[in-house]
Structure 1
Amino acid sequence: MTAPGSAAIWTMPDFDEHERVEVIHDRASGLTAIVALHSTHRGPGAGGTRFWHYPQPLAAVRDALRLSRGMSYKNALAGLPLGGGKAVVLLDEQRTKTPEMLAAFGDAVEALGGAYVTAEDVGASVADMEAIHQRTEHVCGLPAQPGQAGGDPGPYTAQGIFLGIKAAVQYRLGGKDMDGVHVAVQGCGSVGSGVARLLAGEGARVTLADIDHARAEVLAAQLGGSCVSTGEIMEVGCDVFSPNALGAILDDATIPQLDCTIVAGGANNQLARAEHGEMLRERGILYAPDYVINAGGIINVGLEYLARRAGETCSSATVMERIGGIARTLTTIWEESERSGTGAHEVADRMAREAIGRGE
C-alpha cells in the first residue's frame, strides 16, 4: 500500500509492524479516511476517529500510524482486552462533515468485521458516534444512562490526567495535595479545561493558554488563574507543565525552554521523537508517558463496548475505579526508571510491547 503522495506506507518511519492500514475513499459521500490497526494481540483494535483537515495527506497517514501504536500501548497498560487502532477522516478546509460521510465511514468500519472499534477523538462527538452506530455495532462512546459507562470520554480522560498529575506531585515534590502547586495548562478544550477545573478545585494555581485566547481568558477568570499566549506557555515557571492540545510539542527547541519539574498532560504523542524522553530525563524533569496518563477516556468507552458486546452493563463507578489504576501504573514506571537509569518513556514502551507480544 502506498501513502498519498509518498512512498509505500511500510517504509515510513512511523510504521511499526502495523497489522493493517486501510485507505478508504467513497466517491458518493466524499469520504476519504485511513484506518490503521497496529495490534490485535489483546483484542480488537480500539481507538477514536480524528476528523481533521490535513493540508498534506502524508500527515494524515503519519497521524494514523502514530496514534494507532499509541492506542496499542495505552490499552495494554490500562489492562484492557483490546488492541490498538485509529482512524483519521480527512476534511476540507471548512471542516465539512456530512451525514453521508458518517454513514460511509460506518460502513467502512463494519466491513472490517470487528477488527476495529471506533470512538470519539478530535473533531468527533457523541452524536457522530450515534450516526456511525446506525451502520455498525463496532463503535463506543455512545450516550450513557446515568451511572453507566459510555458517553463523552473527555471527562474521564481529564480525571485520569488529574490523578496522574497528583501522583507525579507526590512522587517528585513530596506533596500529598495540590494546594499551591503551580500548573501551566496548554490547551483549554474538553480535556484541558476539565483538568484545569479539577486542579483548581483542589487548590492548585493554574496558568492557561489556548489557540482561542478568549476561551482561555474566560476559564482563567472562572478559576482564579492567569492566562498567557500559546507562544509563552511552555516557558512559564511552574511545578507542572500539562500539555493537553496536539502532539509532538516536546522537541530539540522546546525542551530547553521548559521551566518545570514535571511534564504530565493528555496530548497524544507529546515527544516529537523517542530521544526527547531522554532529554527530559537528563534535565531532571519527571515525564508521565502520555498514553498511560490519558487512558481514562478509553477505559470508559472500552468498558462500555466490552460490556455491551457481552449483553451486560458497566457502571461509572467501575470505570472510576479502573481509572484510579493510572496513578499506580505511573508510579511503577517512575520507580523502574529511577532504578534502571532509563527514561520513563523507555520503561513504559518496554512494558507495553511485552503486553502486546512484541517484547525483546
Structure 2
Amino acid sequence: MSLWMELERDGFEQLVWCRDRESDLTAFIAIHSTKCGPALGGCRLWPYANEEAAAQDAMRLARSMTYKAAAAELPYGGGKAVVIGQVGDAANAKRFEALGRFIDRLNGAYWTGVDVGTTATDMDFVALHTPFVTDTTGSLGGTGDWTADMTAYGVYVGIQVSARRVLGSRSLAGIAIAVQGLGKVGWALCRYLYRAGAQLIVTDLSASLMEQAVREFKALPVAVDRVYDAPCQIFAPCALGGIINEGTIDRLQCRIIAGSANNQLRDPSFALALKQQNILYAPDYVINAGGVIATAAELDGEGTFRTRSRVKRIGRTLESVYAEAERTNEATTLAADRFAELRM
C-alpha cells in the first residue's frame, strides 16, 4: 500500500516532508488529527533506512498519539515528527533549528517535544524558531527524566490493574516480570516494580545497563532474542514497536503484556491471537499515555502533584477497556479504539 493510500485510509490531515539542504535536515511531520485540539507528539531522532520508513513511522506514531490523547481525555490531537539521523551528530543543532522553522509554519497545529533519541537541548534549538515546543531546558518536561518517569508510572499503575484482573491481586510482590528495554522509561519502570517486590527479568542491547540492573534491582538478565521465552507472569515491552509478530507470539510464556513501547503489535490481528492464547494485552496507547498527559499538564500550567494524579487515572481507563472487552468478548484493542473514538 502506498503512503498516499495509507494517509487517506487512516484519515490523516497532513504529512510534511521537511528538507533543508543547508543543515542537511531530512524529517517528516505527520499530523493525524486536530479535531480535539492541537496535535501533540514528540520528535524522534533515528537512523531510518530510508525516507519511506521514516514517513511510515511518523504516521504510525501520529495516529497512535490521536488515540492516546483521546483515551486520556485530553483536549489535543495527535502528531509526530521524525528526524533521520544519529544521536550525537555535531550537525544536529542546525538540523533542529531548521525543524523549528518548519514547525512554526504550521501555526500551532502541531506541538513537539522529546521522544526517542532527542533531549531538552535539542528542543532548545527547535525553540529558537518556534514557540510550539515543550520539554525545553528548565521546563517541567525538560527537567531530569520527568516525562519518562510519568510514562513509567502510568505503565506501573496499568500493570497493577492488569495483575488484579488476571492474577487476583494488585500486589506485585514475588511476581516475575520481564522488562524488554532499559532506556529511560524501562529503567524507571524497573525501579517502580523493584520497589513493589517484583522479581525482574531484564534485557537490553546494552550489556552495561543489564549489569547495572542486576546490581540495583537483583534482576535476572536474558539475551535480547530470548526474552520471549522467559517464563513470567507479565511481559513489559519498553523498547521499539512490532515485537509481537509471527516469530514471537507462540514463544510467549506470560499471562499479561503491559509495557511502554508504541505499536507493540506488528499487525492488529495479533490482538485476537493473544486473546485466543489467554494473554491479556494492555493496549499500548492507553497504558503508555503518561508522557503525553505530563506534556498536556505542562501546557495547561499544572504542577507535579496534579500531573501524577492525572497519570494515575490510566488505571481507571484500563479497567473500563478490560470490562468492555469482556462484555463483548473481543480483543482489548477493539474495546480501546471504541473508547477513544467515542471521546474524539
Taking only aligned residues, the RMSD between alpha carbons, in angstroms, comes to 1.7
In structure 2, what is the equivalent of residue 110 of structure 1?
104
CA deviation digits over 1:23-62, x for unaligned, max 9?
Answer: 0101111111100000001101100010111113211111
Equivalent of 2:261 in 239, 263, 267: 267
In structure 2, what is the equivalent of residue 3 of structure 1?
none
In structure 2, what is the equivalent of residue 333 of structure 1?
321
> Take 2:328 and 2:91, find their aligned partners in 1: how far apart are those partners?
48
> Take 1:304 and 1:13, find their aligned partners in 2: how far apart are those partners?
30
What runs of 5+ residues in structure 1 fail to find an aligned partner? 1-6, 308-312
In structure 2, what is the equivalent of residue 324 of structure 1?
312
Tell me the amino acid that sits aligned with residue 55 of structure 1. Answer: A
In structure 1, what is the equivalent of residue 246 of structure 2?
252
Equivalent of 2:79 in 76, 85, 96: 85
1:272/1:8 Cα in 2 relative to 1: closer, same or farther (>3 Å)? Answer: closer
> Take 1:355 and 1:232, find their aligned partners in 2: how far apart are those partners?
39
1:28/1:150 Cα in 2 relative to 1: closer, same or farther (>3 Å)? Answer: closer
> Take 1:141 and 1:111, find their aligned partners in 2: how far apart are those partners?
20
What runs of 5+ residues in structure 2 fail to find an aligned partner? none
> Take 2:271 and 2:47, find their aligned partners in 1: how far apart are those partners?
29
Aligned residues: 342
1:103 Cα offset (Å): 0.7
CA deviation digits over 1:260-295, x for unaligned, max 9?
Answer: 000000000001011001111110001100001111
Tell me the amino acid that sits aligned with residue 252 of structure 1. Answer: E
> Take 2:135 and 2:224, find their aligned partners in 1: how far apart are those partners?
30
Counterpart contact for 1:299–1:323, Cα < 8 Å: yes
> Take 1:14 and 1:247, find their aligned partners in 2: how far apart are those partners?
23
| Stretch deviating more after TM superposition (87-96 or 44-53) | 87-96
Tell me the amino acid that sits aligned with residue 111 of structure 1. Answer: R
> Take 1:97 and 1:49, find their aligned partners in 2: how far apart are those partners?
17
Equivalent of 2:338 in 336, 350, 356: 350
In structure 2, what is the equivalent of residue 18 of structure 1?
12
1:142 Cα offset (Å): 2.7
1:252/1:61 Cα in 2 relative to 1: closer, same or farther (>3 Å)? Answer: same
Counterpart contact for 1:29–1:104, Cα < 8 Å: yes
In structure 2, what is the equivalent of residue 42 of structure 1?
36
Equivalent of 2:60 in 66, 79, 84: 66
Q: Does 1:203 align with 2:191?
A: no
The two structures have a TM-score, normalised by structure 1, of: 0.91
In structure 1, what is the equivalent of residue 297 of structure 2?
303
Equivalent of 2:176 in 182, 187, 198: 182
1:9 Cα offset (Å): 2.3
> Take 2:71 and 2:294, find their aligned partners in 1: how far apart are those partners?
14
Identity %: 37
Tell me the amino acid that sits aligned with residue 308 of structure 2. Answer: M
